[in-house]
Amino acid sequence: MTTRNAPRPTLDQEAVRLHFRNALRYRTPAAMWAVIADVPVLLAELERALMLATEARTECANLLAACRASLAAGEDNEIDPLYLLRDEVAQHEPLVPEGLDDWGMQ
């Protein structure tokens, strides 16, 4: 599943796959070193993906908590039950066209 605003990978996945296939097929030192050279890049991409997933989960959890608190406030007949939700949504910076590249990414 891809979305318009999904972060793009920072590595050339097809090149990594090609290096791996070549190492399996030819088993030459040069092919093996090409695969070994891909490991730090793959680890950096994995770390970046985990960081992005953690940020997304945290953001989702915070928004869900604000929604639940607003619903509870509404059931308690508070004056402004949407205050908590508005406060949480206000903390998220909107995407502005000037900050996006040609692909719609920051």
Please give the Cα distance from 15 to 87 (Å, whole number).
45
Residue-level pLDDT at 15 = 96
Query: Structure tokens of 27?
Result: 């088993």
- Token look-up 């995407």 returns 95
Examine the pLDDT at 16 and tell me if it is beyond 60: yes
Give residue-wise pLDDT tens across range 45-84. Answer: 999 999 999 999 999 999 999 999 999 999 999 999 999 8
Predicted local distance difference test score (pLDDT) of residue 70: 95
* Amino acid, single-letter form, for residue 41: V
Q: Any idea what DSSP says for residue 103?
A: T
**Does the global pTM surpass 0.85?**
no
Tell me the mean pLDDT in the region 3-24. 88
* Three-class SS state of 4: coil
